[in-house]
Structure formats: structure tokens, C-alpha cells
Amino acid sequence: MQPLTSEDYARLQAAREALGQKEFSWARFELDRISESGQGHPDVLDATVTIHSGLNNHEKAVEVARRLTNGGKAIDRASVWLALADSLHQLGHTGQAYEALKEFAAHNAQGGLVHYRLAVYACLLGRSEEAKGHFKRAMSTPEGERLKREAMEDERLREIWDFLCQP
């Protein structure tokens, strides 16, 4: 993989800054200015997934995320896998979202947010026992207590609220 040119890297950084401010159209503008050779760089594709997700262009987000995940370029990029799962869910494919995120979690999920989302999808699929297992894993991460507080207000997790209240 060729590194980005300094010009392309500067544009990627500008796009990331725009993403940080939820300026998805501006970020898209910056990425569109990256050279043709830089367009396939994993960091550019990662930002592209975030842009499409932010613009609710879920079909395109899935397409780009699949390029990264199927090509092995996103093996450690939780943001790509989370965006892929979210977009699949938004398109009405919650089962596929769950399976995709489980695939990532089996290989590389350290963060609690991955397990939190797995618990959500499991609940939505009527798999409350699996949801509890995923949430237990989320609780064992550094952000576990924060995620538990959020879960108690997340209607999608209502099915396991009693479980979450246990010490």
C-alpha cells in the first residue's frame, strides 16, 4: 500500500476535521479532491464510510465498508465495522448487521461499543440471552459503566433492563 502524498494527507486531515464537526458534505468535498491513486487508501475509505453513514446513504456506506472488510483492510477498524452494521440495520438487515459485527468481535473487538451494539441487535432479533452475554462483555471494558448508564435509557435494550439492574 502506497502512503498518501502530503497533499492527499492534508485533504484527508481536513476531511477528518469536518467529520469531527459533523460537516459531512464538506468532508466529502475534501475527499473528492484526493488524487485518484489516493482514493483507494484504507484511511480515505474509512472516512468515506463515515461520510456516507452521516449522510444516511446507507447503501453506499455498506458498499465501501465491504470493500474494506472483504479486502482485509479493516481488520482492526471498529469504526468501519460499526458503520457497516449500522447501515445494514438501517436498510432492514438487522440479522446481517449482527453477524457482521459478531465476525469482527470474534477477531478484534476490545471496545465496549461493539459489544453494546451486539446486545442491541440481539435484542432486536429476540435473542435476549445472547444480548445479556454481549452486554456482560461490554461491562468488562473500561467504558462499561458509562455504557450501562446509556443502556438503561435505550429502549432497544428494554428486554434486558432487569439484567442490567443486577449487581
The reply to whether 84 and 131 lie within a common domain is no
Instruction: Quote the CA–CA distance of 44 and 34 in Å, as a whole number.
Output: 9
Q: Distance (Å, rounded) from C-alpha 68 to C-alpha 48? A: 11
Give yes or no: residues 91 and 145 share one domain: no
pLDDT at 108 over 90: no
In total, the chain counts a number of residues equal to: 167
Q: Is residue 65 part of a domain?
A: yes
pTM value is 0.90
pLDDT (0 to 100) of residue 109: 64
| Domain match, 37 and 84 both | yes
pLDDT digits (tens, 9 = 90+) for 124-141: 999 999 999 999 999 999
Reported as a single tens digit per residue, the pLDDT across 34-80 is: 999 999 999 999 999 999 999 999 999 999 999 999 978 888 899 99
Mean pLDDT, the chain, rounded, equals: 94
